[in-house]
Amino acid sequence: MSDHHSLEESMPRAPLIAIAVLIGFTLLLVTTVRVLGLTAGDEPAAALVDRQLHFEDLGGGYIAIIDATSDSHLQSIGPGEQGFIRATVRGLAQQRLRQGSGPGEPFVLSGRADGRLFLEDPVTGRIIDLTAFGHTNASAFAELLTAEIGVQ
């Protein structure tokens, strides 16, 4: 006596056909997207306003935010304040250091026509969509777009 079963007896045909159709459809869809040159999303809206910013470590946990165009003080962040700004800028600064770059070039904060807010590092090419982190976090940066020079 043999317990040997052929593949046809142990695997139902309907699921195999469904898998083959799904794979074929996926390949067709990917090919169509590539041939037509479709992208995942629309181009970013044009910048309505932007500001070039330097972030300077003052020691003792303090950070100065400087308008790079006028070289004027915008805001100081004390120890334990503005955690989202600190973490975001720290990540960008560390990436610069890994690439052998320093803090010389300013970051660019821009507000777009579609309401989105971006922080760009022109040195590394990295762009962070700040609105993806929620309104509260994005608003911390949004205040820097309209902050008056020398006002804390």
Residue with the two structure tokens 């800028």: 89
Mean pLDDT of the chain: 81
Mind listing the pLDDT tens digit for each residue in 88-114? 988 888 888 887 777 778 989 988 888
Return the structure tokens found at 112: 């777009």
Residue 118's pLDDT band (cuts 50, 70, 90): very high
| Per-residue pLDDT at 108 | 92
Asked whether the predicted pLDDT for residue 2 surpasses 60, the reply is: no
- Write down the pTM of the prediction: 0.64
Question: How far is the C-alpha of 110 from the C-alpha of 43, rounded, in Å?
Answer: 15
Identify which has the larger pLDDT, 118 or 15. 118
Question: How far is the C-alpha of 72 from the C-alpha of 4, rounded, in Å?
Answer: 82
